């Protein structure tokens, strides 16, 4: 079934929050928010839901997401945006939501710093696709391919010549999906401490022209 692709809306914040956590975890049981927030699942979801509608727009904000909808229900989502400025925007959003929830932003950043040893920042001139995930029952249905095609068209219309997409090393379904969409290997970075914590060796980045 061909999904309907639409922009995410504030009322989709709960779905987007769950999508972000799923995308970050990939094929492992924990992702960045699980470790950086160090709190139970309901609190993690609430924090990310707040990020999705924060005053400070970041790559977790609903305004950056598109949703694949089937029978009127969200089935998959991803965010697509320019690389430039993503780090600063993310930091601002974390500080805003930490202030709302009583968390200490500097502690979130401290716990989340493990990622720095193997994160692969894309070129500021690239169009970034991130936080790609489908509901388990909708995986393998082509919804992510439809979302990626839509995201690439948006990047091209915005004047970008190359798209970048990162994912955990070992996430084979993601790698096959992105290769099918025309992405090719660009680089990877591994870190033993990251692997001990997450269970994946590090990150891989694929790129493609658009």
CATH class of 4-209: alpha beta
pLDDT tens, per residue, the chain with 210 residues: 788 999 999 999 999 999 999 999 999 999 999 999 999 999 999 999 999 999 989 999 999 999 999 999 999 999 999 999 898 899 999 999 999 999 999 999 999 999 999 999 889 999 999 999 999 888 878 899 999 999 999 999 999 999 999 999 999 999 999 999 999 999 999 999 999 999 999 999 999 999
Backbone angles phi and psi of 104, in degrees to 5: -105, 115
Listed residue (137, 192, 195) closest to 170, CA to CA: 195
What is d(CA 6, CA 25) in angstroms, rounded to the nearest whole number?
A: 24
3-class secondary structure, 8: coil
d(CA 10, CA 61): 9
pLDDT of residue 87: 87
CA dihedral 68, 125, 109, 40 (to 10 degrees): 10
Which of 144, 115, 141 shows the shortest CA–CA distance to 129? 144
Q: Give the whole-angstrom CA distance, residue 17 versus residue 23.
A: 10
pTM here is 0.95
Instruction: Please report, for the chain, the start and end positions of each structural domain, with discontinuous segments joined by +.
Output: 4-209
Helix 41-52 × helix 13-25 angle, to 10°:
120
Could you give the angle at the alpha carbon of 176 between the alpha carbons of 172 and 181, nearest 5°? 150
Asked if 77 and 131 count as a contact pair (C-beta separation under 8 A), the reply is yes
């Amino acid at each position: 079934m061909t999904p309907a692709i639409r922009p995410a809306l504030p009322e989709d914040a709960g779905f987007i929050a769950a999508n972000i956590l799923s995308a970050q975890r990939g094929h492992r049981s924990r992702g960045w928010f699980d470790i950086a927030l160090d709190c139970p699942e309901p609190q993690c979801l609430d924090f990310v839901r707040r990020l999705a509608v924060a005053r400070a727009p970041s790559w977790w904000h609903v305004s950056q997401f598109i949703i694949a909808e089937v029978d009127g229900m969200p089935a998959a989502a991803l965010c697509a945006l320019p690389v430039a400025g993503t780090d600063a925007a993310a930091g601002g959003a974390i500080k805003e939501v930490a202030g709302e929830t009583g968390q200490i932003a500097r502690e979130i950043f401290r716990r989340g710093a493990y990622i720095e040893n193997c994160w692969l920042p894309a070129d500021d001139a690239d169009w970034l696709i991130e936080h790609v995930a489908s509901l388990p029952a909708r995986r393998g249905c082509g919804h992510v391919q439809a979302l990626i095609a839509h995201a690439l068209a948006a990047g091209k219309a915005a004047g970008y010549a190359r798209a970048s997409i990162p994912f955990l090393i070992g996430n084979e379904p993601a790698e096959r999906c992105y290769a099918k969409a025309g992405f090719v290997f660009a680089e990877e970075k591994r870190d033993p401490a990251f692997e001990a914590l997450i269970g994946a060796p590090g990150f891989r980045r694929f790129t493609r022209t658009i």
